[in-house]
Every structure is written in structure tokens, then in C-alpha cells.
Amino acid sequence: MATDQPDRGLRGLPGGKQKYSAFALAKKAMNYHQDWQCAWRDAPPQSEYDVVVIGGGGHGLATAYYLAAVHGIKRVAVIEKGWLGGGNTGRNTTIIRSNYLWDESAAIYEHAMKLWEGMSQDLNFNVMFSQRGVLTIAHSEHELREMSRRVHAIRLNGIDSDILGPKEIKDFVPIINIDQNIRYPVMGGFLQKRGGTARHDAVAWGYARAADDLGVDIIQNCEVTGLRRNGRRIVGVETSRGFIKTRKVGCVVAGHSSVMAAMADIRLPLASRPLQALVSEPIKPVLDTVIMSNAVHMYISQSDKGEMVLGAGVDKYNSYAQRGSFPVPEHMIAAAVELFPVLSRLRMLRHWGGIVDTCPDASPIISKTDVDGLYFNCGWGTGGFKATPGSGHVFADLIANDRPNSIAAPYALDRFQTGLLIDEHGAAGVAH
Amino acid sequence: MLLITCPHCGPREESEFSCGGEAHIARPLAENNLTDAEFADYLFLRDNPKGMFLERWRHAAGCRRWFNMARDTVTHEIVEIYPMGNTPKSKAGKAAHADSWRRDTAAEAAAKPASKSRSKQGG
Ligand SMILES: Cc1cc2nc3c(=O)[nH]c(=O)nc-3n(C[C@H](O)[C@H](O)[C@H](O)COP(=O)(O)OP(=O)(O)OC[C@H]3O[C@@H](n4cnc5c(N)ncnc54)[C@H](O)[C@@H]3O)c2cc1C
Ligand SMILES: [Zn+2]
């Protein structure tokens, strides 16, 4: 059930912004790079917009961009309490794949994958999308069997997926230890060759610049403190920089979704938890793909700078503290060092946490609410970076038309009443 | 990393415990016939406050007993630890309990036998 080609709308900065290219780079070098245009304006909030998007992460910025590029909506603002991409967008381990179990998931993640494949051209911004493959490894008989079931389901949806044995894995990833007598032995795995990574900040910046080119106001350092309603209808947002009138509000605030929902007396099934990651000091290239282990809650890749990027599991209790608990990365590192002995003497350079909005079925919420004109896009939890373009694309469509399209429809909030859950715990809840 | 004082074993490090999420979610009785939407409050919807939170914990790698905790989700300060079946006694804990949207749900009212909850709703 692979999806059709998405409608990409206007592309490549039709609004007249200076384009980035090798030629432009050479030309500006003559001037010592003094006269580059700002990537986006520092827009002061206006008194009224057609749509206000709350949250300047990748999902919010993509939503604003597609509202302008695909739906032609002119007066759009993105309101961000901190800086662009300072939330989970700038904190994640950037793994992108579309190999999920259920049809509903295949539809949205593959929709996103198609948009990734061409995003740098669409936005005229190099998001460094690198389809280096994502290999998920199995450490037990049971996991291996579950994996083959998953691979068949994924293939039926027209999405690339291959099973690999330990020997093939060793050929593909020479630094991996396939000794069967370790705590988490490599018994097999499955590979999505079209999966990979992208530069997370570039995704936020690229969408921001392209949205700005189409007239979207990007307002940073502005916190939304209230959602003003008139009866059942949204009429505006209260912010730290004053009231802004609007009849449509899209909330894309990840870990703070429950806080935002409470402002409109809406309850969500979410739990906000820290998710942690770390990078090592940079070394020469040793890993040219992405490896994930669901049993360990480990995912590893090597950045273009040479740092080993390692992600850990989600903490077990709710927190808004934006830092995690030490035993979580410690457990992950213990297993990682055994699986990749080359890591054992590396020093850790940075370690951080982000607050992720986990949903009971490990699938997102893309939904209208009981308040007319108020929409939520949240619950992406530990794995929403990969969905950034697809999420923004279908959310913009929901806001513009006030009805979900076929990709977004299964993700409505009412699934927690009907029981039509999209249970992706096997594929999403533990790792990425 | 939390240092949690198990009411039975004393202070132990966080890794000995498992967290059971929001406390004080009473199971509605079948006889009270809730709608799907009302039942969803019990089954899926969760309090997720930024601030004081009442939650259940279990000393999984110790005495294996459950208890309740009032904890701030921003500072991680543990304000109170109190037994299962009780409500909090601290000022902050009491306020968190009283202010929770769950107190007003049909699902919570339906945790009491039908005659009682009906008369409560009627009155
Ligand atoms: C350590 C870690 C590793 C991860 N690894 C992966 C991975 O490998 N692959 C993957 O697919 N996903 C991964 N994820 C998940 C992924 O990062 C998120 O699902 C995704 O980035 C969410 O994007 P977003 O735009 O919705 O949220 P965010 O980028 O968090 O943006 C939300 C924004 O809302 C703003 N905001 C909040 N409240 C307000 C307010 N009141 N007013 C105004 N603004 C507000 C915040 O400041 C924030 O900038 C990881 C997450 C973490 C933390
Ligand atoms: Zn104990």
C-alpha cells in the first residue's frame, strides 16, 4: 500500500530569496561572505493570522511551509518559545526509516520518506539526507521470528526490507561483534536500504527559510500561555508578546502537548518522558550505516564529523526536566561496547535529553479536537524525526481543509474511544 | 537519578524501582455502564502535569511492594511517599489530588456501586 507521490506544491524559493548553490558560494567568496541574506526574518508578531502554528520544531515548521506551499495560505505564523529546533528536533539521533508493521504506519512513514527523497531540492537547503541504510538487529530466537513476520508485512506494503544473517551482518558492518556468547548476541537483522539519517538542524532551518520565503512569519522567543476560546471555537492565542487573533491553531509542541491541551481543557493520553542520547569524540570513519537494537534500546551511527552518535531508551517516569536518569545510558553503553568493541576506549563528548510525548500505542495523534479550529499533532514520542515532512504535510492538509486525509484519518484522537489503536510498540516504542 | 525511600526498606536508588504511572485511577464497576468516551478516561487518558504529580511506584528489586509518591516532574523533588489506598497528606499533594480533572469524571464516580454513584450524580 505504498502511497502515491505527495503534492510538493511550490518548490525552490519562488518568493525570491537568494538561492544557495556552488556558484553562489563562489560568488560570495569574492566578498568574504559578507552579504548573505538572513535565512529568515525576525518577524514581530502581527495582531492577526489565518493560521497560527505553535511550536518551531521540524513538525511545526514543516506544517507552516506546506500551509503556504501546497495550500496557498498567506498569513501563517510559527510561534516558538525558545529557538528554532531547540526541542526534540535538535536533540534526536536523526534516524529515518519507513519499515513499520501496520498499514496505517507504512502509509505515513513512507509518505514522509518520499518527501525526504527530494527535500534538499524542494527547500533549496542541503539537509544532508543520507540513505546509508538502517539495520535492526535481533538478539534472540523470538525476536528473529517476530522480525520475519514484520519484514513480510513491510514488503506487502511495497517498502524495501531484507533479512540478514550474522555473517552478512558482519560483512556489512565490519566493526560488529558476532560472537554468540555475549549478553546480546547478534542472531540476525533486517535492513531498510532506503533508510538513513539527515542533519536535524538543517531540517528546521531549511523549512524555516523556505516558509519565510513564502511569507510565513517565524516568531521566536514567544511563549504561548493561553488558548482563547469563544464557546466551542478558538479565537486566538495568548502569548508572552501579547494576544494574537486567529481562527485556526495547530499545536505541535511535542513534550509539552499535555500542558498545551490543558489550556483548552482537552485531555490527551500522553506521558512526557526524557529520552537520552550522547556523542563520542570524533574518530575516523568506522560505521557507514545505522544500527538499532530494540532489545538493548540502542541505536548508533557515525556523524559526518566523526562522532559516534548513540541513543538510549526512554526513562521510566514522567519528567519535564529535559535531562534523563544515568542508569539508562549506562545500560545502553554496556551493551554497545560489547557489540562494538572499538567503542570501548572512546570518551563521551556530550550527553543530553529531550522530553518526548509517548502515546499508549506508540503512534502519533494528528487530530481535530472538540474545540473548532484547534488541531493537535503530537504523540510522536521517541521516533518522530523521520516523519517530519510527512507529518507537516498531512497536518497542513488537515488544518487547511478541516478534515483529515486518508493518511491522517487513522491518527485521530477518537481511536482511544473506539479502540482502533495502531500498536507499533514492536517497531517504535523502544527505539527508532 | 532519584533516591527513593521505600516505606519498608528505607532509601534505595532509583534503579531498584519500577514506576506504575498515575496514581488514584479507580476502575469503574461494570454495573455502571459507561459510554466508550467515559471509559476512555479510565483506560487511556492520563494526567501528565508539569509540576506536582501523584504516581505509583514498586520496589521491584527489593520488597516488591507498591506505594504512592507525590513528585514534582520539573525539579524531581519527592514531596511525599504514602501507602496504597491512601490519599496524600502534604499540602502540595492534597492540592494535586483535588485539582486533577479525573475527580470530575464519570469513570471515577462509577468506581462506586451503582446506587451510590447514581444518587451522587442525581444530587
Ligand atoms: C534523544 C532523542 C533521540 C531521538 N531519536 C530519534 C531518531 O533517531 N529518529 C526519529 O525519527 N526520532 C527520534 N526522536 C524523536 C524526535 O526527535 C521527535 O519525535 C521529533 O523531533 C518531534 O518534532 P517536533 O517538531 O514535534 O517537536 P520539537 O522539536 O520538540 O518542537 C516542539 C517545539 O514546541 C515548543 N514549545 C513548547 N511549548 C511551547 C509554548 N507554550 N509556546 C511556544 N512554543 C512551545 C518547544 O520549545 C519546541 O521547540 C528522538 C528524540 C530524542 C529526545
Ligand atoms: Zn522495599
| Inter-residue long-range contacts of A411-414, CB under 8 Å, 24+ positions, other chains counted | A411/A104, A411/A108, A411/A363, A411/A364, A411/A365, A411/A366, A411/A367, A412/A365, A412/A366, A412/A367, A412/A368, A413/A268, A413/A365, A413/A367, A413/A368, A413/A369, A413/A376, A414/A367
Q: What is the pLDDT of residue A79?
A: 98
Cα separation, A298 vs A308, in Å, equals 12
Average pLDDT for residues A298-325, to the nearest whole number?
95
The ligand minimizing its distance to the Cα of A353 is 1
Report whether pLDDT(B82) > 60.
yes
Pick the closest to residue A353 from A327, A318, A314 (CA basis): A314
* Residue B34 belongs to some domain of the structure: no
Q: What is the pLDDT of residue B114?
A: 75
Cα separation, B71 vs A235, in Å, equals 35
* Residue B57 belongs to some domain of the structure: yes
Report whether pLDDT(A300) > 90.
yes
Report whether pLDDT(A89) > 50.
yes
- DSSP notation for A333-350: HHHHHHH-GGGTTPPEEE
Q: What is the pLDDT of residue A238?
A: 98
d(CA A89, ligand 1 centre) in Å: 5
Q: How far is B81 from chain A (nearest CA, A)?
A: 15
Contact A215/B at CB under 8 A: no
Cα separation, A422 vs A123, in Å, equals 32
Query: Mind listing the pLDDT tens digit for each residue in A336-348?
Result: 999 999 999 999 9
Question: For residue A211, how many other CB atoms are within 10 A of its CB?
Answer: 29
Q: Residue A354 CA: which ligand 1 atom is closest?
A: 53
Which residues, 6+ apart, have CB-to-CB distance to A413 below 8 Å?
A268, A365, A367, A368, A369, A376
* Residue B74 belongs to some domain of the structure: yes
Contact B21 A417 (CB under 8 A): no
Place of cell 513564502: A214
Report whether pLDDT(B37) > 60.
yes
* Residue B9 belongs to some domain of the structure: yes
* Residue B32 belongs to some domain of the structure: no
Contact B45 A417 (CB under 8 A): no
Q: Whose CA is nearest to atom 50 of ligand 1?
A: A92
* Residue B114 belongs to some domain of the structure: no
Question: Which grid cell sits at B114?
Answer: 451503582
Domain count, chain B: 1
**A250: β partners:** A53, A375
Which residues, 6+ apart, have CB-to-CB distance to A385 below 8 Å?
A58, A88, A89, A92, A94, A95, A96, A200, A203, A432
Question: Which grid cell sits at A282?
Answer: 570524533
Mean pLDDT of chain B: 93
Residues of A in contact with B21 (CB under 8 A): 271, 318
Q: Return the residue of B nearest to A418 by Cα.
A: B36
Query: Mind listing the pLDDT tens digit for each residue in B89-120?
Result: 999 999 999 999 999 999 999 999 876 555 44
Question: Which grid cell sits at A195?
Answer: 533508510
* Residue B30 belongs to some domain of the structure: no
Cα separation, B34 vs B40, in Å, equals 9
Picking from B50, B53, B56 by the largest number of A CB atoms within 10 A of its own CB, the best residue to mutate is: B50
Cα separation, B114 vs A388, in Å, equals 47
Mean pLDDT of chain A: 96
Picking from B1, B44, B54 by the largest number of A CB atoms within 10 A of its own CB, the best residue to mutate is: B44
Give the predicted TM-score (pTM) of the model: 0.96
Q: What is the pLDDT of residue A432?
A: 53
Q: What is the pLDDT of residue B119?
A: 47
Q: What is the pLDDT of residue A425?
A: 85
Contact B40 A417 (CB under 8 A): yes
Query: Mind listing the pLDDT tens digit for each residue in A155-190?
Result: 999 999 999 999 999 999 999 999 999 999 999 999
Average pLDDT for residues A238-264, to the nearest whole number?
98
Q: What is the pLDDT of residue B123?
A: 37
The band of A428, judged by pLDDT with boundaries at 50, 70 and 90, is: very low
Average pLDDT for residues A47-75, to the nearest whole number?
98
The band of A323, judged by pLDDT with boundaries at 50, 70 and 90, is: confident
Report whether pLDDT(A429) > 80.
no
Report whether pLDDT(A234) > 90.
yes
Q: What is the pLDDT of residue A4?
A: 79
Q: Can you give the residue range of the structural domain that contains B51?
A: 3-24+40-108
Residues in chain A: 432
The band of A3, judged by pLDDT with boundaries at 50, 70 and 90, is: low
The band of A2, judged by pLDDT with boundaries at 50, 70 and 90, is: low
- Of the CA atoms within 13 Å of residue A160, those in its CB half-sphere come to 13
Q: What is the pLDDT of residue B116?
A: 56
CB A402 within 8 A of CB A374: no
Domain with residue B102: its CATH number is 3.30.2270.10
* Residue B75 belongs to some domain of the structure: yes
